[in-house]
Structure 1
Amino acid sequence: MKQISIFAIILALFTLSSFMPQQKKKVIFFGDSITEAGAKPGGYITRIADLATKEGTAANYDFVGAGIGGNKVYDLYLRLEDDVLSKKPDVVVIYIGVNDVWHKRSYGTGTDANKFEGFYNALIKKIQAQGAKIILCTPAVIGERTDFSNELDGDLNFYSNMIRNIAKKNSLPLVDLRTAFLDYNKQYNKDNKESGVLTSDRVHLNEKGNQFVADEMWKVLKQLQ
């Protein structure tokens, strides 16, 4: 009789749990103007949500954009608590680096390599301390030419390598947009155009670019346990 009672309790608990709403995984995309635009209609974040819907997993996720135009890695560090940690994310996707390189040449306000690495590691440490998982992304392009004539290719490659090494050192998943964009342009940018393939202005994503980034991020995100 006692065994029957225990079985009945277990069965009741199992039945009750099946009716409880599933906890959504909150994913925050943390970055600059590319991410700010990514949260708007047609942006890469909304397209990731569309991909989840097509695969029948949209109910498992809450996708949140936290991008601000002009941000560099230290801007992310300064607003980490208010814009990310206070929202209790399960996953944080860090997509930063373009302005750290680009603004050196355009405004003289970029980020030196040692400071970039230091702030980046500090971001990771604080996010992990709260228990959230992290996905890193390399910055994609500042110009889409494929003949090595983009002015900032060298610096962008250097900073992308830093992010790759940080990901490896911390055993974190990486969305290597730098490599993915270069490979895509080598195949499809036959006219060696400066923009108009995946970007609208050498940096910001056009419609095709937003879908491309969504596809690349979703491959990694959906595998995260």
Structure 2
Amino acid sequence: MICWPRVILLGDSITQFAFEANAWGSTLANKLVRKCDVINRGLSGYNTRWAKLLLPRLVSRSCSGNVAAVTVFFGANDCSLKEENPQQHVPLEEYADNLRSMIQYLKSIDVAGDRIILISPPPLHEPSWEKQCHGKGCKLNRLNAVAGEYAKACVQVAAECGTECLDLWTQMQEGDLDYTAYLSDGLHLSDEGNRFVESHLWSILEKKLSTLPFILPYWNDVDCLNPDASLLQDKNAEP
């Protein structure tokens, strides 16, 4: 059996939706085709409290040796206001501790720290998200400034634990950018937002994955008179 290296995407709805057409995960998967499998483990509505409990069932030691990279993209639900959304809300200190625990678990199963990438929550456009909330019969349940506090904690945890971090909250608002163009409903990514995430994440991943070989030979390199010699001697295959 040929073992493709794996890039595992962990996160909430922003990750779950990443395999939609032209979204950030599907674009990454296309760039990495025949080099590694990009596996989506996004769980819409989940926070770090729940993800920490599930992580051993999502990434086990048996597959860790083949992990080329893992993204951990939570915070958009954790940062919900407790008084308006107690089910998803996770206090800031617990959020940071949960990220630390997830990194520690991944390291304990031999996923190196330089293969782990934290992604902060993106900024929130309150007027747009408030319309979504009102449509569901509830009040505005997130604030951009609060999302920024969680993004800062995400960056700090990455620095403490020796992992990389893509700070979307900061980068999407740098230079007085109109970050609303990156959001479809005030919270989730628009097409432009997906391109932003993919391009910035790819600049990190490309350095880590640039040495991955193309799996199996190009078709015109196959010896048509003796295909066994070309196709059945692959170094990526298990013995």
**Helix, strand or coil for the counterpart of 1:66?**
strand
**Helix, strand or coil for the counterpart of 1:100?**
coil
Structure with more relative contact order (C-alpha pairs < 8 Å, separation 6 or more) = 2
Q: Which of 37, 40, 43 pairs up with 1:68?
A: 43
What is the CA-CA distance between 1:153 and the residue it aligns to? 2.3
Q: Does 1:202 align with 2:186?
A: yes
What is the CA-CA distance between 1:58 and the residue it aligns to? 3.3
**Helix, strand or coil for the counterpart of 1:65?**
strand
Paired residue type of 1:99: N
Partner of 2:206 in structure 1?
A: 222
**Would the aligned equivalents of 1:90 and 1:131 in 2 still touch at CA under 8 Å?**
no
TM-score, with structure 1 as normaliser: 0.76
What is the CA-CA distance between 1:106 and the residue it aligns to? 3.6
The RMSD of aligned alpha carbons is 2.4
Partner of 1:120 in structure 2?
A: 99
- Following the alignment from structure 1 to structure 2, what is the Cα–Cα distance between the partners of residues 144 and 29? 27
Q: Which has the higher helix share?
A: 1
Partner of 2:22 in structure 1?
A: 42
Query: How do residues 87-102 of structure 1 correspond to structure 2 at under 5 angstroms?
Result: 87-88=63-64, 89-102=67-80
**Would the aligned equivalents of 1:31 and 1:95 in 2 still touch at CA under 8 Å?**
yes
Q: Which of 58, 64, 67 pairs up with 2:33?
A: 58
Paired residue type of 1:121: R
Paired residue type of 2:102: L
Query: How do residues 14-33 of structure 1 correspond to structure 2 at under 5 angstroms?
Result: 24-33=4-13
Gap regions ≥5 residues in structure 1? 1-20, 190-194
Task: Count the aligned residue pairs.
Answer: 189
**Helix, strand or coil for the counterpart of 2:105?**
helix
**Would the aligned equivalents of 1:39 and 1:64 in 2 still touch at CA under 8 Å?**
no
Paired residue type of 1:203: L
Q: Which of 78, 83, 90 pairs up with 2:53?
A: 78
* Identical amino acids, percent of aligned pairs: 23
Partner of 2:90 in structure 1?
A: 111
**Would the aligned equivalents of 1:135 and 1:175 in 2 still touch at CA under 8 Å?**
yes
TM-score, with structure 2 as normaliser: 0.71
What is the CA-CA distance between 1:172 and the residue it aligns to? 1.0
What is the CA-CA distance between 1:59 and the residue it aligns to? 2.4
